[in-house]
């Protein structure tokens, strides 16, 4: 039997890169997948690639920085699968440059995707997981949280904050 058979897994940023790779790995292990991202076309490409493996897949185009859309993502998941077993907060954004040249808009966009979105998604997941008696939340961090790169102030800051969010949320 596959390790994740019957487990409903939401993956943010599932249309490309690490998120798509996670979706592939979870599909191989039999998880029911909920693929979320802003780009519907990329999500559909991921679905088309993975459906031949026989896994159930729900595509929910979502801007994870928008509280209403996050709630819609979790409601659609419950309507389709009846539960949320695993949430993978993978969506991410990078922007940077010298701090004295960084715009507030760039700072806020990175903060919204890399820190506010995991908060919103984790909050919704926890509400469901507590009612159903358990679940797992996985936040995708970065070595940049411990080892900053030049001109990466927003990214490094948010990934450091994500570590704090993860540790604090684990306390219940």
Catalytic residue positions, numbered? 155, 159
DSSP secondary-structure letter at 157?
H
Closest CA to 13 of 118, 154, 148, 142: 118
Query: What would you measure as the largest C-alpha separation in the chain, in angstroms?
Result: 55
Residue 14: partners with Cβ closer than 8 Å, 6 or more residues away: 20, 22, 23, 33, 35, 36, 37, 43, 46, 90
Q: How crowded is residue 105: how many other Cβ atoms within 10 Å of its Cβ?
A: 9
Strand partners, 139: 89
């Amino acid at each position: 039997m596959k390790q994740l058979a019957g487990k409903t897994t939401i993956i943010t940023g599932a249309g490309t890169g690490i998120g798509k790779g996670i979706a592939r790995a979870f599909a191989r292990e039999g998880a029911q997948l909920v693929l979320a991202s802003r780009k519907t076309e990329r999500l559909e490409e991921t679905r088309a690639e993975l459906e031949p493996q026989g896994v159930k897949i729900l595509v929910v185009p979502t801007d994870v920085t928008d509280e209403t859309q996050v709630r819609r993502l979790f409601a659609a998941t419950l309507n389709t699968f009846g539960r949320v077993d695993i949430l993978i907060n993978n969506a991410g954004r990078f922007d940077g440059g010298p701090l004295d040249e960084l715009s507030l808009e760039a700072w806020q966009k990175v903060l919204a995707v890399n820190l506010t979105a995991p908060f919103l998604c984790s909050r919704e997941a926890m509400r469901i997981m507590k009612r159903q008696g358990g679940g797992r939340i996985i936040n995708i961090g970065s070595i940049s949280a411990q080892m900053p790169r030049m001109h990466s102030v927003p990214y490094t800051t948010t990934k450091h904050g994500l570590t704090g969010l993860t540790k604090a949320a684990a306390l219940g």
